[in-house]
Amino acid sequence: MQVKKPVLASIVRTKGKQNILLTTTEEYNAEFLIKYKEIWRNCFHFQREQKLEPWVQVVAHGVPTLPFLGEGGSKLLKEEIETFNPIGIQGLPRWITSSEKRHDPQTRFGSIVFTVENEEKRQEILKQKEILIAGTATKVVKYLEVSPTTQCSSCQKFGHIGDRCSTRACRFCAAAHLSKDHSCSTCTITGRPCKHTTPLCINCKEEHFANSKDCETLKAAKLVHSTSEEGSMEE
């Protein structure tokens, strides 16, 4: 096994110090951590590990990107939200807007998703309609309940929907176009595969469509928990 990127986005001790919450990064998941438990188990004193089940999440749109671009940006963002709003965030907020886009000088605002302690708290926040981040009133909405196996219609990856995804990968041939733009130069069919299509899965690189039930990546996604985008070990 070779670890090429940071595995953890954050390590948080919960109230009462009974639990330690480890948030993994995009490249790794809870299954990975559990599989290689022997490597890190001496870093903490714990009795058992458990994969976290779905969270109560809130999305904020129109969040200023600039103040949170640097290292530890997510942590700063969390502090900012908690200081200026009656909100306690579990773990770290994560950007829905890609890192690439956030670093584009043209981009001034982005969207984030963060986890709150329970549904009651979430309703309270949603009722406010806006929260204050870096002096800006940002709109809050309910996070669409995506499961780890929800497949993006744009990039075919799992765990998010395609409405804000700018990465393109064809469900049928894995080329960099939307599935609906898939076409064949022999047939005049578009948007669906034909007998000339060589199936290729963008996720596992096997010869099947990206939504195949046999896909190993899909099987793995069933075990994957939502991960954080920010790839730095903080705290």
DSSP of 107-132, one letter per residue? --EEEEEEEES-HHHHHHHHHH-EEE
DSSP of 56-91, one letter per residue? EEEEEEEEESGGG-STTHHHHHHHHHHHHSS--EEE
CA atoms of 174 and 160, how far apart (whole Å) = 18
CA atoms of 213 and 82, how far apart (whole Å) = 42
Choice between 142 and 196, CB closer to Zn ion: 196
Choice between 10 and 159, CB closer to Zn ion: 159
Number of residues that bind Zn ion (CB under 5 A): 19
Choice between 23 and 179, CB closer to Zn ion: 179
If we measure between CA atoms, which residue out of 57, 61, 79, 63 comes closest to residue 10? 79
Q: Check if the beta carbon of residue 232 is closer than 8 Å to that of residue 5.
A: no
Q: Does 140 bind Zn ion (CB under 5 A)?
A: no
Interface mask toward Zn ion for 182-211; x: CB under 5 A: x-x-xx------x-x----x-xx-x-----
Residue type, position 232, single letter: S
The token pair that represents 125 in the structure block: 């926040």
Q: Which residues pair with 198 in a beta bridge?
A: none
Q: Smallest distance, Å, CB 219 to Zn ion?
A: 9
Choice between 21 and 176, CB closer to Zn ion: 176
Among positions 147-186, residues that touch Zn ion (CB under 5 A) are: 152, 154-155, 165, 170, 172-173, 175, 182, 184, 186
Q: Smallest distance, Å, CB 24 to Zn ion?
A: 18
Q: Smallest distance, Å, CB 118 to Zn ion?
A: 29
Choice between 134 and 178, CB closer to Zn ion: 178
Choice between 134 and 204, CB closer to Zn ion: 204
Write b or e for each residue in 101-135: b if 16 or more Cβ atoms lie within 10 A of its Cβ, otherwise e.
ebeeeeeeebbbbbbbeeeebbeebeeeeebebbe
- Candidates 215, 224, 227, 230; binder of Zn ion (CB under 5 A) is 215
Binding site for Zn ion (CB under 5 A): 152, 154-155, 165, 170, 172-173, 175, 182, 184, 186-187, 194, 196, 201, 203-204, 206, 215
